[in-house]
Structure 1
Amino acid sequence: MTSPRGPVAAALRARRSYPAVGDAAPTTRELLPLIASAGSLADHASLRPWRIIAVRGPARERVGAAIAEASGLTGPAAEKLAAKPLRAPLLLAIVFSPKPSIKVPEWEQEAAASGVAHALSLLLDEAGWGVMWRTGLQLRSDAVARAHELAPGERLMGWLYVGAKPDGKSGRREPVKARDHLSSL
């Protein structure tokens, strides 16, 4: 059996999460073609049931405060949660924004939005940026939804934390044992 050798397979094998990134981040102008490419993923009926919110500067503090509020914690534990969005200069909030459709169920639309998020993380990595997709227990709380000004029915899927890749490699990953994940009927 041969392994896939094309650029897509290489990008998938090389992808790593970067929990710590540097202070530089892509500009809006640099992001737009990456988002356009990610948005070309499979999307039944081309509904594009997603949007992306760039969170920079003090807006990251607002998101952190909402996370802390949603946790119900106080003191140092709440402060630690509130500081998490400050770990990267840019957060890309991935928003699932379902569209009315008699053909495409909501779960399929959410899968399309998830695919866009993953593709965008690969494209950012390929462009030389450090990326980590973060979620958390407070992700779909009312406080966090308000901080992102989500419309009724929209749901946050997580944040891509983006910044300069640090020197050296990120965490090692064990190769997938494909046989453990494939079955037949």
Structure 2
Amino acid sequence: MLPAVCRSPDHGNLKPYRFIVLAGEAQKQLGTLFLQAELQDAGEAGLKEGKQAKILDKPLRAPMIIVGVVRLDEQHKVPVIEQWMAAGCAVQTYSLMLENSGYGVMWRSGSFAYHDVVRKGLGLADNEQICAFLYCGTIEQPKQHRPDTPSAEMLISFPRQL
């Protein structure tokens, strides 16, 4: 799958992304990082009873997590926003390829994706950010149906006819 992922749109051919695969014990360690981040944010107020176990279990909702990481080069002529978009395209391509291979995939981000405790705990460099957590596994139940958006609402001609 990675050769196809690396063919995702990428202005400047920077490949400003990488992936970290977490399974088993590594997912438990991610849960510990999530808890450390939450405890740091809660401060002296602490966490409500039962919340710690819930946070620790978050990464265990799927048999594997693929962490999409964007590696930013602020000195490069390609703007940072386009580097983010290239990483997002790579994550989306990976997600689609996994789904096409019969796996269930859920793209998650949330506050833990942006927390320094999690970033540093995963060994990210100062110029790297978490783009996505792809929760991957076997499909046990069908996904909820999302209503289709009429295509006429998505494509607008310019200049518009008034």
Query: Per the shorter chain, which TM-score range?
Result: 0.7 to 0.9
- For the pair 1:88 / 2:55, whether they are aligned, the reply is no
Aligned pair partner of 2:26 in 46, 49, 59: 59
Establish whether residue 38 from structure 1 lines up as the match of residue 11 from structure 2. Answer: no
Partner of 1:108: 82
Contact preservation (8 Å) 2:37, 2:115: yes
Partner of 1:155: 129
Runs of 5+ unmatched residues, structure 1: 1-33
Q: Structure 2: how far apart are the matches of 1:41 and 1:160?
A: 17
- The DSSP-based 3-state class of the residue aligned with 1:171 is coil
Higher relative contact order (CA 8 A, sep 6+): 1
Amino acid at match of 2:137: G
1:46-96 alpha-carbon deviations (Å, 9 max, x no partner): 100000000111110111111122123534112212211001111000001
Task: For 1:62 and 1:69, locate their aligned partners in 2 and report how far apart those are by CA, in whole Å.
Answer: 11
Output one character per residue of 1:90-110: Cα deviation in whole Å (capped at 9) or x when no partner: 100000111355420111000
**Matched positions, count:** 151
Look up the equivalent residue of 1:176 and give its one-letter code: T
Tell me which moved more, 170-179 or 51-60. Answer: 170-179
Aligned amino acid, residue 71 of structure 1: E
| Whole-Å separation in 2 of the counterparts to 1:47 and 1:101 | 12
Q: Deviations over 1:143-175 (max 9, x none)?
A: 111221101110001211111122x42111100
Confirm whether residue 138 of structure 1 aligns to residue 112 of structure 2: yes
Match of 2:36 in 1: 69
SS in 2 for 1:46: coil
Q: 1:164 aligns with which of 138, 141, 160?
A: 138
Aligned partners of 2:52 and 2:100: how far apart in 1?
A: 35
Q: Distance in 2 between matches of 1:116 and 1:171?
A: 24
**Residue ranges of structure 2 left out of the alignment (5+ in a row):** none
Q: With structure 1 as the length reference, what TM-score do the two structures score?
A: 0.76
| % same residue | 30
**Change beyond 3 A, Cα 1:179–1:96:** same
Per the TM alignment, residue 177 of structure 1 is displaced from its structure 2 partner at its CA by 2.5
Question: 1:125, 1:112 → 2: CA distance?
Answer: 20
* Letter paired with 1:105: P
RMSD, matched Cα: 1.6
Give the 3 Å change call, closer, same or farther, for CA 94–125 of structure 1 in structure 2.
same
The equivalent position to 1:174 in structure 2, one of 132, 147, 153, is 147
